[in-house]
Amino acid sequence: MSAARALRVALLEAQHGRLERPTRRALLAAGADIALVLRPSDPRSFGERAQALRDARPDLVLVPLADRGGADELAGLSEPLRLGCAAQLPPPRALVVSSDDGAIARAATLLAPLPTDVLPDVRAERGLRLVVERMREMRGDEQLAPERALELLAARFAEARGGPALVAGVGGDRTSLVRAAPGEAALAVHARPLGVGRAADRVVARAGLERVRRWIPWAVDQPTLLERVFNRARWPDAASSGRETLALEIALAHEALALALADAAMAGLGTEMRSARHILLTGRLAALPGPERSVLVAVDALDPIEPATIARDDGGRLAELAASAIAGGEASVLDEALLALAAPLAAVLPVVTARRTVVRIGGREERVARNAFFTVALPGPSEVSAPGMPPATVASGPLGLVVDARPRPLTLPLRDAERVPAVTRWYETLGALPA
């Protein structure tokens, strides 16, 4: 994944709650770095808001407005912007996203003298598309190439499998979730900066050190862990050569994916991202030594809500072919590679139960208790079903079918004496414990 600088966006949410979801969706699809969000309810003083905007050094100031009322609320946000960023070189561009002429006129007055563009309301499909395109234009083709490659990969993967597919990639500074279905436009979430390398410290800053630590299957103190995270963040493409660092990378990947999924949920895409029949793992997530580790992270963090088959892009070959296909305009090589390289590794059957229930796996019934987490070997493509979801055919691959009846969201005890056995059991179920 690219380590290039993302488009830094300051979001002025004058009408928080009304336009939040489509705005977030646009920002995530464009792979923007949301450097600062300001709302009228922000407790910071005028001067603090202005200083925060100056420190954020935004390339773009996004101003979504539903109506004239929003433009009136904007004054409390635009004046700190004018004070904080008027001297910035080059000045940030303001992008007013609204279809209300009154709101546009008022916003243009309030945002002067910043260079200002206007696009239609982000709630309409056309407006959303135009906003995403504008932000992507500002980033440039070179920076966008890896994200476009994942989007093409997801589309071709969905076509090849004939059903909804999710490509999940964790990189050094970006975590991507791209869902595609045959004949439908892809839904993309490119969360930045969020990853297991350069942005490792941002994962800790957003999730909290304790949430990262909980995935380490042995006792480790917080200062030691933070040291490793900080060094990793300042060491480009740091390789995990030891047991400790491999566990750290797995832990960071868990939280990076979970945070990206949470971002998707804020954009109203949470359910879609969790309901794909085919999941392809790529980036550093697919480069973890041993496919069982990649699968464990995917099952834990992606929280699928229906049976899914999991594959991984070993060595990033498929992502490379997708990038080549974009450059060459020909996707046949990628399609062939998808058949050959995206072989199923495992399947997952999520089970929601209060106490115990019965699931059907390949024609036989299996009793599953709440909190169960185990694998079942399957000979080939098999039909599985669980209460509350339609039957589905999955291909399990060498790791088998993972039956996951753990209550969601996953919780682990805080005390190491209780946490370590619990998390170790999950690792051992898939044989993913770092040796």
Partner 1 sequence: MTWTYARWAVEHPLPVAPARHAASGTEVRAGDVIASGGTVAVVRLVDGARRVGVAPADLDRVLRVRPVADVRRGMLLARTGRRFARAATAPIDGRLVHVTADGDLCIAPVVADWRVRAAIDGVVTRSDAGAVTVEGSCWSLRGIAAYGPDGTGELSLAVDGPDDGLAPTRIDVRLRERILVGGARMAAEAITRAHACGVAGLVAGAAPAGGLRVVYGDDVEARGGASFDDRPTILCLQGFGWGPLPRPVWDGLVALAGHRASIHAASTRLYVMAPRDAAPEPSGTPLLALASDHSAVRPVEEADAGAQNVLPYDAER
- Select from 75, 138, 266, 422 the one that contacts partner 1 (CB under 8 A): 75
**Near partner 1 by CB under 8 A: residue from 202, 214, 312, 419:** 202
| Residues 134, 117: Cα–Cα separation, whole Å | 10
Assess 211 for contact with partner 1 (CB under 8 A): no
Q: Does 414 bind partner 1 (CB under 8 A)?
A: no
The DSSP symbol for 397 reads G
Residues near 56 by Cβ (< 8 Å), separated by ≥ 6? 8, 10, 35, 36
Q: 3-state DSSP call for residue 317?
A: helix
Q: How far is the CB of 52 from partner 1 (least distance, A)?
A: 10
- The CA distances from residue 8 to 64, 116, 139, 291, 391, in Å, are 16, 16, 10, 35, 44
The residue within the footprint of partner 1, chosen from 18, 42, 67, 83 (CB under 8 A), is 83
CB 284 within 8 A of CB 249: yes
Q: Does 89 bind partner 1 (CB under 8 A)?
A: yes
Sole binder of partner 1 in the list 140, 184, 235, 421 (CB under 8 A): 235
Of these, 222, 271, 371, 424, which contacts partner 1 (CB under 8 A)?
222
For residues 24 and 150, the answer to whether their CB atoms sit within 8 Å is no
Region from 77-85, 211-219, 309-317, 324-332 binding partner 1, contact rule CB under 8 A? 77-85
User: Per rule CB under 8 A, is residue 133 in the interface with partner 1?
Assistant: no
Phi, psi of 168 (to 5 degrees): -115, 120
Contact residues for 100 (Cβ-Cβ < 8 A; gap 6+):
65, 66, 67, 68, 71, 121
- Could you give phi then psi for residue 53, rounded to 5 degrees? -70, -40
Nearest-approach distance from CB 111 to partner 1, in angstroms:
8
Extract the tokens encoding 194. 């969020």
Applying CB under 8 A, which of residues 223, 379, 390, 409 lies at the interface with partner 1?
223
Q: Based on the shown chain and the rule CB under 8 A, indicate whether residue 238 belongs to the binding site for partner 1.
A: yes
Number of residues that bind partner 1 (CB under 8 A): 46
Read off φ and ψ for residue 365, nearest 5 degrees: -100, 145
The residue range among 83-91, 171-179, 327-335, 409-417 that interacts with partner 1, by the rule CB under 8 A, is 83-91
The residue from 79, 133, 314, 320 that contacts partner 1 (CB under 8 A) is 79
Choice from 143, 245, 275, 393 touching partner 1 (CB under 8 A): 245
Q: Please name the helix (run of DSSP H) or strand (run of DSSP E) that holds residue 400, with its range, or none.
A: none
Residue with Cβ nearer partner 1 (234 or 408):
234
| Paired residues of 382 in beta bridges | 394
Which residues in the 246-285 window bind partner 1 by CB under 8 A? 248
143 binds partner 1, rule: CB under 8 A:
no
Asked whether position 226 contacts partner 1 by CB under 8 A, the answer is yes
Closest approach of partner 1 to the CB of residue 222, in Å: 7
User: Is residue 384 helix, strand or coil?
Assistant: strand
Order of strands, sheet of 392-394, starting from the edge strand that comes earlier in the sequence: 364-369, 356-361, 382-385, 392-394
Residue closer to partner 1 by CB (options 209, 266) is: 209
| Interacting residues of 77 by C-beta distance below 8 A, sequence separation 6+ | 12, 14, 38, 39, 40, 49
Please state the closest distance from residue 288 (CB atom) to partner 1, in A. Answer: 16
Cβ proximity to partner 1, 159 vs 244, nearer residue: 244
Q: How far apart are CA 33 and CA 326, in angstroms?
A: 24
Query: What's the closest the beta carbon of residue 85 comes to partner 1, in angstroms?
Result: 9
| CA pair distance 418, 406, nearest whole angstrom | 16
Residues that bind partner 1 (CB under 8 A): 45-48, 50-51, 54, 75, 78-79, 82-84, 86-89, 109-112, 200-202, 205, 222-224, 226-236, 238-239, 241-242, 244-245, 248
